[in-house]
Amino acid sequence: MSIKKIVVIGPESTGKSTLSEALANALGTLWVPEYARTYLDTLKRKYTQADLLTIAEGQLSTEDKYTLSAEKLLICDTDLNVIKVWSEYKYNGCHAAILRHIAARRYDLYLLTGIDIPWQNDPQREHPEPAMRSYFYNIYLDVVQNSGVPWVAIDGTPEERVQKSLLSVQQFMQ
């Protein structure tokens, strides 16, 4: 039996991790945390473009590990498109291996988190400006629209986001 993979994707500070965990708990399944957060928390220097490949490989490795324990469904807090978007914005390009991984990896549903919730400061977040939040949201909108994968825009309060996501996943799984 194949595992259906749901990706929560969107700009910084749009509640992806909170939603991923709440959705997995409500559905009685596992969620793959964002590897970048753990990696960057332990990094004793500013990250570089080379770190993004390490982060991408760590994200995929973690996802593969969780896939072995999941039953029907796996919630992924981000995918490599987030690393690609970040790399292209910050470094004007993306490592070819990341692009190959994106092309090879398949997901079943995207939940695109909106920018309608307040920005939460965090040392790892870089662009709190409303214009930048809109800029990145539009890039992720383009990613999901062109992915060939079903997707749903998720907005509202944290509780509304969980409810909308649950309904979307349940409909998808039918």
* CA-based max dimension of the chain: 47
- Backbone Cα Rg of the chain: 15
* Those residues with Cβ within 8 angstroms of residue 81's Cβ, 6 or more apart along the chain or in another chain: 9, 102, 140, 143
Provide the pLDDT for residue 119. 77
Residue-level pLDDT at 124: 61
pLDDT at residue 107, rounded to an integer: 98
pLDDT tens for residues 26-64? 999 999 999 998 999 899 899 999 999 999 999 999 999
Q: Where are the domains positioned within the chain?
A: 4-173
CATH, domain range 4-173: 3.40.50.300
Query: Quick one: pLDDT at residue 9?
Result: 98
- Nearest-5° Cα angle at 36, 35 to 37: 90
Nearest to 33 by CA among 73, 69, 68, 66: 66
- For residue 44, the model assigns a pLDDT of 87
Residues 6+ apart with CB under 8 A from 99: 84
Residue 104: the pLDDT is: 96
| Sites in the chain below the pLDDT cut of 50 | none
